Chain A
Amino acid sequence: MTTEFEQFIPDVFRWSYRVLGQYHDAMDVVQEVFLRWQRQCAKEVPAKPRGWLRRVSLNQCLDLKRARTTLTDETSNAAAKGEAPEVEPLDVAALRIDIQVALLALTETQRAVLVAKIYDSMTFAEIASEMEISIPTAKTHYLRAIRTVRPLLLKKWSHNDKNEL
């Protein structure tokens, strides 16, 4: 069970890091997801493990963020561990927070489809297969996800282009 999970560790870490932007937070998510994987496999091994892991990983990322509500909290947590907090440009950090808030507004499936499309560059056919939904449904989720997060992100970031971040 551990070996099977280990093959997915890079994916879980990559999704988590992309959403959280912190190495240690991403590692915490990997740990938490592994525990959930063990519990799930004790009942029934997911038929599509990668799809299951993506959904659970994203949920865990957002749960972690909910638990740590401010950047100050993150800095304090890092200091308590004796670690230097990872610092990224303020604009990227601000954008990350806004994206995290936007992702919270989505359903679990919409979130997973959006991440699969944008971060994993999967086709709709691949997403549909992995998530056991139809291709039209995958496309619908994708569009709804974009339309849901659009007002949340463009309210503040509509004038930013590549050069500004």
Chain B
Amino acid sequence: MNCERFEALLADALGNELDPKDRALFDAHLESCDKCREEFDSARKVIGLIERLPAPSTSSFVAAPRAPRSPWRSFLRVAAVMLVSFILGYLARGEREPASVAIPGLPGVGDATVESAIVSAMREHPERPLLTNTLSAIIGNSTAKPSPSD
């Protein structure tokens, strides 16, 4: 193998996609060519450094400490719920009981999968657009409770 062929196979070698037969020739060239060996080793170091950054683990995410809620944020959340309740109640005025817009108990961050845990965590922040849409969907799906019979 010459250096030109080495260069052609370098991406595959660094990406762990080298054919076994090419692998043998590639390794043999590394033994014999200082320049190519230095090229390969330094590239491997770079990849190793980038790999070092830790990935999130599901358990650490699920157990992530929640930010302590500021009173102002809690107040805004309650005010938003009350406002929505009032609006829906106003729209449903008439003989029917006002729509009961109890926000269902939002799923806590305790689900097993990262996906559901993330979606659940995001539902706790209604000021954010994604969550507003999700929250609106929840509210929109709420149905009026029938008035209790006497």
Q: CB-CB < 8 A to B61: which residues of A? A: 23
The 4 A-B pairs of least Cβ separation, nearest first, read A139-B11, A83-B67, A17-B56, A34-B130
A-B pairs with CB below 8 Å: how many? 116
- Identify 5 residue pairs between A and B in the complex whose beta-carbon atoms are under 8 Å apart, listed by A's number: A117-B15, A139-B15, A146-B43, A150-B43, A153-B45
Q: DSSP class of B's interface residues: helix, strand, loop or mixed?
A: helix
On chain B, the number of residues with a Cβ less than 8 Å from chain A's Cβ atoms is 39
Interface residues of B (CB under 8 A from A): 10-12, 14-15, 17, 42-43, 45-56, 61, 64-65, 67-70, 114-115, 118-119, 121-122, 128-130, 133-134, 137
Chain A residues with CB below 8 A from B53, complex form:
18-19, 21, 92, 95-96, 99
Task: Count how many chain A residues have C-beta atoms less than 8 Å from C-beta atoms of the other chain.
Answer: 50
A residues near B (Cβ < 8 Å) are 2, 5-7, 9-10, 13-14, 17-19, 21, 23-24, 26-27, 30-31, 34-35, 81-84, 88, 92, 95-96, 99, 114, 117-119, 123-124, 139-140, 142-143, 146-147, 149-150, 153-154, 157-158, 160, 162, 165
Chain A residue at minimum C-beta to C-beta distance from B65: A84
CA distance A142 to B67 in the complex (A): 39
CA of A160 to CA of B56, assembled, Å? 23
A154 vs B48: C-alpha distance in the bound complex, in angstroms? 11
A160–B17 touching, CB < 8 Å: no
Closest to B51 in A: A118
